[in-house]
Amino acid sequence: MQADLTMGNIASALPLQSEESALVEELRAGSEEAFAWLIARYHQPIYSLLARMLQDRADAADLTQEVFVKVFRGIHGFHGESALRTWIYRIALREASNQRRWWMRHRHQEVPMEQEIGESESGSPVLLRDTLVDPGESPFDLAAHAENRARVEWALQQVPEPYRTTLILRDVEGFVYEEVAEMQGVNLGTVKSRLVRGRTMLRNLLSSPAASQRSLAMAG
């Protein structure tokens, strides 16, 4: 029974892999139809990602076009080590990172896994690593249910890098931890650390007076 289920899962995955392989071959052959389909499928998600990362829609629009130019030029270097979508998003992240270097004045330091972030009820220190498991909904999901999406987007823009990008990839775009780690070129521990820190920042921002004033301004 288990073997049948396993074979069924493999069989169902094969058509998807075959379709992606066929698409890649068409792209490598210079098919305009294949490239048009690729743009239609990924243009809006990539633009949305870059708009959240760069905080400037005009720059995001320009950079989205550049991403697809890089995809078109680099498709011959794609050998299927990852999913095509993961590869495209990795290019987008790299382009956004290069763009930010023009205006970033300093780099935010990573939060050590052993850093104390508070005390428990018994008075013992609570380390960041102890908070990595979060079974509940992300703050983005919780807020999106009850608050205007614009308010959440505003708060997300206030979260500094690299935490904002990690939040976007995991909580907004829905990538799994392994995909986020691959896209950002870091290990799983770093992804989880950034996610915990970013979620904490987002929660604090959403409960701040500034967020309340933002809601009133949007309501008015």
- Domain harbouring 158, CATH code: 1.10.10.10
Q: Is residue 65 part of a domain?
A: yes
If asked whether residues 53 and 129 sit together in one domain, one would say no
Using CA atoms, how far apart are residues 157 and 65, in angstroms rounded to an integer? 22
If asked whether residues 90 and 142 sit together in one domain, one would say no
- Beta strands per DSSP E along the chain: 116-119, 125-127
- Angle of CA points 153, 155, 159, to nearest 5°: 110
Q: Is the pLDDT of residue 217 over 90?
A: no
- Boundary of a domain, candidates 100, 129, 148: 100
Q: What confidence tens digit (pLDDT) does each residue in 177-198 have?
A: 999 999 999 999 999 999 999 9
Q: Which residues contact 40 (CB under 8 A, 6 or more apart)?
A: none
Q: Is residue 1 part of a domain?
A: no
Q: What is the pLDDT of residue 45?
A: 92
Q: Is residue 107 part of a domain?
A: no
Q: Is residue 6 part of a domain?
A: no
The arithmetic mean of pLDDT across residues 73-95, rounded, is 91
Asked whether the whole model's pTM tops 0.85, one would answer no
- Boundary of a domain, candidates 49, 69, 100: 100
Q: What is the pLDDT of residue 87?
A: 94
Dihedral sign from CA coordinates of 199, 203, 205, 211: positive
If asked whether residues 127 and 176 sit together in one domain, one would say yes
The arithmetic mean of pLDDT across residues 147-176, rounded, is 86
Q: How many domains does the chain have?
A: 2
The more confidently predicted of residues 9 and 148 is 148
Q: Which domain holds residue 147?
A: 116-219
Q: Is residue 31 part of a domain?
A: yes
Q: What is the pLDDT of residue 6?
A: 40
Using CA atoms, how far apart are residues 179 and 161, in angstroms rounded to an integer? 18
Q: What is the pLDDT of residue 143?
A: 57
| Least confident stretch, 15-29, 140-154, 201-215 | 140-154
- pLDDT level of residue 133 (50, 70, 90 thresholds): very low
Share of the chain above pLDDT 70, in %: 65
Q: What is the pLDDT of residue 18?
A: 67
If asked whether residues 148 and 87 sit together in one domain, one would say no
Using CA atoms, how far apart are residues 7 and 78, in angstroms rounded to an integer? 28
Q: Is the pLDDT of residue 159 over 90?
A: yes
Q: What confidence tens digit (pLDDT) does each residue in 19-72 have?
A: 788 888 999 998 889 999 999 999 999 999 998 888 778 888 999 999 999 999
If asked whether residues 152 and 207 sit together in one domain, one would say yes
SS3 state at 22: helix
Q: How many residues does the chain have?
A: 220
Q: What is the pLDDT of residue 88?
A: 95
- Boundary of a domain, candidates 65, 100, 135: 100
- pLDDT level of residue 86 (50, 70, 90 thresholds): very high
- Domain harbouring 96, CATH code: 1.10.1740.10
The more confidently predicted of residues 6 and 178 is 178
